[in-house]
Amino acid sequence: MNLSIKAKIISLSTAVLFLTVGVSILTSNYVFTKEYTKAIQSRLLAIGKSLNFQLDRLLQLDIPIQDITGFEEQCREIVKKYEGIEYAMVTDVNGRILFHNDPSQHGKVSTDPETLNAIKSKTEVIRICAEHSPKDYEVVIPVFSVSGEHIAAVRIGSPVSFIAQKVKKVAGYMIAAGIVLLSLAVVLLYFALSVSVTKPLMKLLGAVNEIKRKGTDFTHRVEIKSTDEIGQLASAFNEMTDVIQKTTVSRDYVNNIIESINDILIIMTPDLKIKAVNKVGCELLGYKEEELVGSALEAIFPGEEVTLRKALSEMMNEAKEIDNYEMTSKSKGGEKIPLLLSCSVMRDSDNNVRNVVCTGRDITEFKRLEAQLRYAQKVQALSTLTGGVAHEFNNILQAILGHASLLQIKLKKDDPLKTHADQIVASSERAAKLTHGLLAFTSSQVISPRKTDINEIIKKEENLLAKILGNDIRLRTVFSDERLTVMADAGQIEMVLVNLCTNARDAMPHGGGLTIETRKVSNFKIREAGYVPQDAEHLELAGDFCEIAVADTGIGMDEKIKERIFEPFFTTKEVGKGTGLGLSIVYGIVKQHNGYMDCYSKTGKGTTFKIYLPIVKAET
Amino acid sequence: MKIKRLRAIFFAGMFLLLLQSTVKGESAKTQAAPKYKILHIMSYHSPWRWTDGQFNGFKDALKGLNVEYKVFQMDTKRNSAKEQKEKIGKEAREVIESWKPDLIYTTDDDVQEYVAKHYINKSIPFVFSGVNKEPKDYGFEKSSNITGVLEQEHFIESVKLLKEIVPKAKKIAVIFDDASMWDPVKKRMKEKANQLPGIEFISWDIIRTFKEYKQKVKAYEGKADAIALIGIFTFKDEAGKNVPYQEVLKWTAEHSKLPDLGFWIDRVYYGTLCAVTVSEYEQGRAAGKIARAILTDGKSPAEFTPKPTVKGQPVVSLARAKKLGIKIKSGILLSSEVIKEFEWNKQ
């Protein structure tokens, strides 16, 4: 039976109290019966003597006993006055009733020998009289005349059952009182136990549960002020938690440390099965911890398990550590994640390997930035080279064009050489145009920047752009509500828009949609979006940026193409259909405006070019 | 040894100190208790159960006080002439003036007439008991210094006692002498007579001579069931002298066949069958309680309206009952004072 301590104590105490009360009642009844019998007998004797005294007073008046009248009244008064007296009478020495509380008894003679003996006895007799039924306790007191002659006897009787009735009544009272006291004691005990035992114990239990719930948080203390055993237990508990708190590293504390690590943490068994993976690791790899626990390391590093196992085995055997191993893991979704892996071995006191602990840092961003940097360096190199060549070539072209023009002027119209001269001039002009494009890529053109609202430039060119896109492509423009004032050469920006629209049109041979959207973004937003320009220092200094997003719904491109789109003369178009300078010129113009651009594209998903130009304070 | 001696000396010293302080306390207590001088002037004489009983009750009520008593007996039963009473009253007043008591306790009527009346509204307090007349008869109703306890007969109770002894008694003849002192008694009796249903008072006779009395008593036989003997002090003999009431009662006991009743115990001593008497002790004790309040609590006598005492003592003459052939129930005998013998047989 599952009983609380309080219930047990109360049950036990109730049982003991019940037993005590029961025994007390029985004992009391026994003693009461004995003592009450004595008391009744003494009382009978006293009452008998008082009646005898009254009779004696009358005799002292020299009235012969036979001349006394109305003494029945005194007998009747005795019976009436004292509870439990059944009869009071005066008999002569032969047992004839002279006076009786019941006048009808007058003159009757007792025939019971024992009674007669008692009457004839000249001493006081206390006895149980069986003359009547039920039996009586009776006192017989001799009456003497003035001259000392034994002339009569006073008899007073009380039923034996009277005592039994009294005992029963007293027992009833005692049982009632016992029940009341017992109930009171139980209630008091209940409250006393609640206050002094249950509540403190529940407090203590609450503290234990609190610690159990929180794991290894031992800061909880119990406040019990009593100095009894429970108080001592509480003090001991508090001292124990103090000691534990001081000497034990809590699981929470360890968990907090593990969870605060930004790197992947993998704990493996000596046979290189995964034992635990931290939250960062699970999130990065897309697994739940329970999916990984128990798996072999191949689950995370498919294709590199041989290399890794070998390295780890060597580490365990030679006590070497694996430090900054570049590995590629694979997420649950199949994505490859470059990691920088470092491992160490946990050993027990006997130098046995307990666990292998590996931390892996996700270097995806690092790799992206590395590629971006490489690309920027490549474009920069191309730009320098292209600029130098274009500049020199342009100088030569100017000389060729100048001389060809002079030749053209000197020759007559019908001169057969004039056609050649015209061809030289035309070719030179085409070459010059080409070099201008190259110079634009290298940002070497002479531009005339001034404060201008980007939205105004786009709105002015909207019709032209729509014509370039043709009827199958729907142009949609979304302008920011606020002015986007930048330092820009409007002509150059128009060229950027034209080139981007031309490219977009070519990417949507079957029609589609092109959206030009402007908005104001903060430097922080650019960084948050993952766009980190090559000269970040410059970007840091700038405040807000104007973003011009040109998004088409065209065929898109893969990563390889995307990596080369800003290279001069790189084109995916058929030979003769494009110069391969369009996006190079756009890139050069944007850069010349202290801006940056990036391309977001996936095959079949369209392409978005985003251009960022620094916003300047508009003139008022 | 030295320590023991020192201890003995210490305890002896302590004992002496304690003894000294006890003695001092006792003497201080004696000095602190005031001493009262009380002059008791009785109308009659001592020794007599009636006068002595009152004085004993009075003294018991003042128990614990330091009182010096002086008693003056006027003895007017023997000196019944007015001149004699005036003379003795003057003597009593002289005692008052010379002794200067703190309080005067007077008993019965003559002392009121010849002494107390002279001190109405004086500073000295008077407390009386055993007075039959109404206080206004002495002018006490307006007095600031005289109060006490009235002696009024237990008329109803006495008749009821007679009825218990002689259940067939229904007609009662009442006898008075010609003394004026009975006027208030008769008046009260007549006022209360209606409280006794089934009892008829067939006559209220005033008798002047002993001869007339004898004739009347004999004449009542057959007409009355009982006689109430109230005034029997001034029946004249042939020489014109008062016949002592004891003689009147003795003749009655020896010659009357009718049961009789009175209000005073001495009547029962001399043969009257029964009486619920005024308790002389109760009278004195009630007066003593008033005196104590005046002396110790500083109360004024005017604060106590004169009242009669309420308890009575039943007395029956077993000798007379035997003479009349009456068996008295044991209950009455046990609750009454029983006179076994006639007074004259004791001598």
3-state secondary structure (DSSP) of residue B282: helix
Do B68 and B91 contact (CB within 8 A), yes or no?
no
Q: Which residues of A touch B333 (CB under 8 A)?
A: 57-58, 61, 63
A15 contacts: CB under 8 Å, gap ≥ 6: none
* pLDDT, tens digit, 9 for 90 and up, residues B15-56: 444 444 444 444 444 445 679 999 999 999 999 888 999 999
Fold that domain A261-356 belongs to in CATH: Beta-Lactamase (3.30.450)
The chain B residue lying nearest A99, using CA atoms, is B330
List the domain boundaries for chain B.
Answer: 32-151+280-308, 155-278+312-346
The mean pLDDT value for A32-37 works out to 88
CB pair distance less than 8 Å for A57 and B331:
no
Q: What is the pLDDT of residue A364?
A: 83
Chain B residues with CB-CB distance to A68 below 8 A? 330
A70 chain-B contacts, CB cut-off 8 A: 329-332
Quick one: closest CA in A to B316, which residue? Answer: A61
Highest mean pLDDT among A14-18, A166-170, B71-75: B71-75
C-alpha–C-alpha distance, residues B250 and A543, integer Å? 154
What is the number of CB-based contacts under 8 A between chain A and chain B? 31
Bigger pLDDT: B25 vs A567? A567
Name the pLDDT band for A578 (thresholds 50, 70, 90): low
Chain-chain contact of A57 with B333 (C-beta, under 8 angstroms): yes
Q: Which of B331, B338, B340 sits opposite A70 (nearest CB)?
A: B331
Residue A577 has pLDDT above 70, yes or no: no
Of B327, B328, B331, the CB nearest to A74: B331
Contact B271, B265 (CB under 8 A): no
Q: Do B329 and A69 touch (CB under 8 A)?
A: yes
* B155-278+312-346 has the same fold as B32-151+280-308: yes
What pLDDT score was predicted for residue B276? 95
> Residue type at A58?
L
| Sign of CA pseudo-dihedral B193, B199, B202, B206 | negative
B→A contacts (Cβ < 8 Å), by residue, are 318, 327-334, 338, 340
For residue A74, the distance in angstroms to the closest alpha carbon of chain B comes to 7
C-beta contacts of A109-116 below 8 A and 24+ residues apart: A115/A140
In the sheet with A274-277, reading across from the earlier edge strand, the strands are A274-277, A264-268, A353-362, A336-347, A322-330
Contact call for B328 and A57, based on CB within 8 A: no
Please give, rounded to a whole number of angstroms, the shortest distance from the CA of A67 to a CA of chain B: 8
Write the pLDDT tens digit of every residue in A423-448.
888 888 888 877 877 777 776 677 88
| Fold matches, A35-167 and A261-356 | yes
Query: In this predicted model, what pLDDT tens digit does every residue of B192-234 receive, in sequence order?
Result: 999 999 999 999 999 999 999 999 999 999 999 999 999 998 8
Distance of alpha carbon B143 from alpha carbon B147, whole angstroms: 8
Rounded to two decimals, the pTM is 0.51
Pick one of 3.30.565.10, 3.40.605.10, 3.90.170.10, 3.40.50.1820 as the CATH number of A450-614: 3.30.565.10
Distance from CA of B330 to the nearest CA of A (A): 5
Q: How far is A111 from chain B (nearest CA, A)?
A: 28
The predicted pLDDT at position A252 comes to 64
Contact B334 A62 (CB under 8 A): no
* A57 contacts in chain B (CB < 8 Å): 333-334
| Residues on chain A bordering chain B, Cβ-to-Cβ distance under 8 angstroms | 54, 57-58, 61-63, 67-71, 73-74
Question: Is A57's CB within 8 Å of B329's CB?
Answer: no
From A40's Cα to the closest Cα of chain B, the distance in A is: 26
Of 3.20.10.10, 2.40.37.20, 3.20.20.20, 3.30.450.20, which CATH number belongs to A35-167? Answer: 3.30.450.20
Q: Which residues partner with A213 through β-bridges?
A: none
CB neighbour class for B196 (10 Å; exposed up to 12, middle 13-18, buried from 19)? middle
What is the chain A residue with the closest CA to B327?
A69
Element (H, E) at B285: helix B280-296
Residue B140, min C-alpha distance to chain A (Å): 45
pLDDT in tens, A586-609: 988 888 888 888 888 999 999 999
Asked if residue A186 lies in contact with residue A56, where contact means CB atoms within 8 angstroms, the answer is no
Give the integer Cα–Cα distance in Å for A497 and A502. Answer: 8
Best A53, A62, A65, A69 member to test B by mutation, with max B CBs in 10 Å, is A69
Question: Do the chains contact at A61 and B340, CB–CB below 8 Å?
Answer: yes
B117 pLDDT exceeds 70?
yes
Residue B236 DSSP label? B
* Residues of B in Cβ contact (< 8 Å) with A53: none
Structure tokens at A55: 């009779």
Q: Which fold has domain B155-278+312-346?
A: Rossmann fold (3.40.50)
The pLDDT of residue B175 is 96
Smallest Cβ–Cβ distance between A67 and the set B327, B331, B332 belongs to: B327
pLDDT-based confidence at residue A527 (cuts at 50, 70, 90): low
> Residues of A with CB below 8 A from B330's CB?
54, 58, 68-71, 73-74
Residues of chain A with Cβ-Cβ distance to B338 below 8 Å are: 61
CB A250 within 8 A of CB A218: yes
Pairing of strands A150-159, A136-144: antiparallel
Model confidence over A116-142: pLDDT tens digits?
999 998 999 998 888 877 888 999 999
Q: Which of A15-24, A103-112, A153-162, A477-486 has the lowest mean pLDDT?
A: A15-24
DSSP A177-237: HHHHHHHHHHHHHHHHHIIIIIHHHHHHHHHHHHHHHHSS-----------SHHHHHHHHH
Is residue B7 scored above 70 in pLDDT?
no
- Beta strands in A431-524, from DSSP E residues, in sequence order: 450-453, 473-478, 485-488, 512-521
Residue to test with chain A: of B316, B332, B334, B335, most A Cβ within 10 A: B334
Residue A73 has its nearest CB partner, among B331, B338, B340, at B331
- Mutation site, A63, A65, A81, A98, interface B, largest B CB count within 10 A: A63
**Domain residue extents for chain A:** 35-167, 261-356, 368-441, 450-614
Q: Test B334 with A68 for CB contact under 8 angstroms.
A: no
Classified by CATH at the fold level, domain B32-151+280-308 comes out as Rossmann fold (3.40.50)
B108 φ/ψ angles, rounded to the nearest 5 degrees: 70, 180
Cα distance from B46 to chain A (closest Cα, Å)? 29
What does the pLDDT average to over A314-328? Answer: 80
* Nearest chain B Cα distance for residue A17, angstroms: 53
Q: Average model confidence (pLDDT) for chain B?
A: 89
DSSP per-residue letters across A91-127: EETTSBEEEESSGGGTT-B---HHHHHHHH-SS-EEE
Chain B residues closer than 8 Å to A69 by CB: 327-330
CB contact under 8 A, A74 and B340: no
Just give the CATH number of A368-441: 1.10.287
What is the four-CA torsion angle of A107, A111, A117, A119, rounded to 10 degrees? -10
Complex-level ipTM: 0.71
| Cβ contacts of B335 within 8 Å, gap of 6 or more | B314
Q: Residue A535: what pLDDT?
A: 47
Model confidence at B2, pLDDT cuts 50, 70, 90, reads very low
Are the Cβ atoms of B329 and A58 closer than 8 angstroms?
Answer: no
- Which chain A residues touch B331 with a CB distance below 8 Å? 70, 73-74
Please give the share of chain A, as a percent, with pLDDT higher than 90.
24
